[in-house]
Amino acid sequence: MTKDIKRIAVFTSGGDAPGMNAALRAVVRTASFNDLHVYGIKGGYEGMVDGNLSRLEVRDVGNIIHRGGTILKTARSERFRTPEGRKSAYEALLAFDIDACIGIGGDGTFTGANIFSQEFPDIPLIGVPGTIDNDLYGTDYTIGFDTAVNTAIDAADKIRDTADSHNRLFFVEVMGRHSGFIALNTGIGSGAASVLIPEIETTLEGLVETLRKGAKRKKLFSLVIVAEGNRYGGAAEIAKRVQDSFDYYDTKVAIIGHLQRGGSPTAMDRVLASRLGFGAVEGLIKGEKNVMVGLVNNKIKYTPFEVAIGKTKIPDKDLIRMAEILAI
C-alpha cells in the first residue's frame, strides 16, 4: 500500500445503469472486510461539492444487488466543471478525512475524475465503468450493457409480433449515445433485417436495397435496429426517408428509450458489477490510482483514465460481418 488508506468515499455519477447498486454493495463489503470505512456521496459530483457524505455500513447495502438505478442517486454537476467547484469538492472530502475515492459511472464521470486527480493527486481515485453504452476502452463490458441489450431484445420480440401480424416495417431505435454496441447486439439477438450504427458507413440507398431484396423473397415484415447516434438521424427521420423511396411495407417507428436504463440487472451484470467493485477496492489497497478497473478476457485490468476515455472502442469487425450475413 503506497498510502495509508482508512476511509473511502464512493459515488455514482452520470446516467444510471442497472448493476450500479451491485457494484456499490461490492465496494462496501470488500472495504469492510479490509477494515476500511466507507462513505457514500449522495448525488454524484454535485453531492461531493456540497459535502453530502454519510457513512455506509454493510447492512446499508443489503438487499440491493437486484435493484436497478442507484441508492446513492446520480446527477450531472456544472459546478464540478469549474476549478472552484472541484476545490470545494476536495475540501469537503478533507473535512471527512477521506483518503481515496471510487466513482461508478461512464465517460463524463471519468473525464471529471481525470481532471480532479491531476489537480489533487493526494486523493487516489479509481473508476468503475457503469454505463449501458459499453463505450469505454479497457473493459470488454460495462455495467448495465447486458441488461440494456436484454431489455431492447425483449421489446424487439414484442414488436416483431405486431410487425408480422400487419406486414409492417419497424424502425426500432435503441440507446447507446455515440456507440453502436447496444444496437449491434440487439440486431443480432432479435434477427433484424439491418442494423444502423455509427461505426458502419451504411447508406440509405444500401438499406433500401436490402429491404427490396427481402420484399422480393416475399418477406412479410422487417425490423431495422437504429442506434440513436446514427449519422442519418433518429429512427423517425430514417423511416420517413425510406418510406419516400420504398413503400412495400407499412412503416412504423418504435423508440425504446429509457426503458433500457431501468429494471433489475441481469445475472451477468450483477456478477460483473460485483467483480469490478471488488477490484476497485483491491486496487486502492495495492496502490492503484487514477485508473478505471475493467474486465479484459475475463481478468481484472486497470487502465489509466486518459486511456479509457481517450481511445475509441469499436465493435468487433467479425461480429458486424456476421450480423450482415445472418440478416440475409
In tens, the pLDDT along 107-160 reads: 999 999 999 999 999 999 999 999 999 999 999 999 999 999 999 999 999 999
Query: Cβ distance 281 to 102 under 8 Å?
Result: yes
* pLDDT attached to residue 175: 96
> Could you tell me the strand order of the sheet in which 194-196 lies?
194-196, 222-227, 168-174, 250-255
* pLDDT attached to residue 204: 85
Read off the pLDDT band of 1 (50, 70, 90).
very low
67 phi and psi, to 5 degrees? -90, 140
The mean of the pLDDT values for the chain is 94
30 phi and psi, to 5 degrees? -70, -40
Which amino acids are annotated catalytic? 133
The residue-averaged pLDDT of 68-87 equals 96
In tens, the pLDDT along 265-320 reads: 999 999 999 999 999 999 999 999 999 999 999 999 999 999 999 999 999 999 99
Rounded distance between C-alpha atoms, residue 98 and residue 246, angstroms? 61
* pLDDT attached to residue 43: 97
Query: What structural domains does the chain harbor?
Result: 7-144+265-310 (3.40.50.450), 146-261 (3.40.50.460)
Judged by phi (left if over 0) then psi (alpha if -120 to 50, else beta), residue 290 lies in: left
DSSP 3-state of 159: helix
Q: Which of 49-58, 91-100, 139-148, 311-320 has the lowest mean pLDDT?
A: 311-320
Show the cell assigned to 242.
425510406
pTM of the model: 0.95
**284: which residues sit within 8 A by CB, 6+ positions away?**
5, 8, 100, 102, 124, 126
CA nearest neighbour of 182 among 201, 196, 161, 203: 196
Query: What percent of the chain is predicted at pLDDT more than 70?
Result: 98
pLDDT greater than 70 at residue 12: yes
Query: Cβ distance 5 to 36 under 8 Å?
Result: yes
Paired strand residues for 101: 9, 125
Rounded distance between C-alpha atoms, residue 171 and residue 236, angstroms? 8
* pLDDT attached to residue 244: 84
